[in-house]
Amino acid sequence: MSARTRNRKLYVTAIAAATAFAIIAGLTITGDVTPAEPAPMVGSFTGEYVDGVPVYRLPSVNVAVSRTAELARIQQEDRLAAAADRARSPAVVAAVGAR
C-alpha cells in the first residue's frame, strides 16, 4: 500500500469519526431543547429602493480586537513582503540564472 493511499484512508477515517462525533454530540446537547424563536427584525426601512430592492438601516456594530494581535499580523505581512522582495532581487535572479 502506498503512502498516498494510506494517508487518504486515514484522512477519510478521521473525517468520518469527526462527523459521527459531531452528530452524536449535537443530539445529546440539543435533544431536549425547544427551538428558539426567530430573532426580531432590527433594521428600519429607509423608504428608499435601489434596483427594486428596499433599503434598510441597520444598527451599528462595534468590533473590538487586541492591538497586539493586529501588530503581530502587520509584522508578519512585512516579513513576508521583504522575503518576497529579496527573492525577486537582481542578485538572486542572477545567481539562479548562473546555475
pLDDT in tens, 16-58: 888 888 777 765 554 555 667 777 778 888 899 999 999 999 8
Q: State the pLDDT at residue 66.
A: 76
Residue 16, classed as helix, strand or coil, is: helix
User: Cα–Cα distance between 25 and 17 in angstroms, integer?
Assistant: 12
Beta strands in 2-78 (DSSP E): 44-50, 53-57
Maximum mean pLDDT: which of 42-51, 60-69, 80-89 = 42-51
| Residue 49, in any domain of the structure | no
User: Are 43 and 58 within 8 A, CB to CB?
Assistant: yes
| Residue 58, in any domain of the structure | no
| Residue 12, in any domain of the structure | yes
Report whether pLDDT(76) > 90. yes
- Host domain of residue 81: 63-99
Which is more confidently placed, 31 or 6?
6
Cβ neighbors of 58 (< 8 A, separation 6 or more) are: 42, 43
Q: What is the pTM of this model?
A: 0.28
Q: Which three three-digit cell numbers place residue 6? A: 494510506
Q: State the pLDDT at residue 75.
A: 92
| Domains of the chain: total | 2
Q: State the pLDDT at residue 95.
A: 59
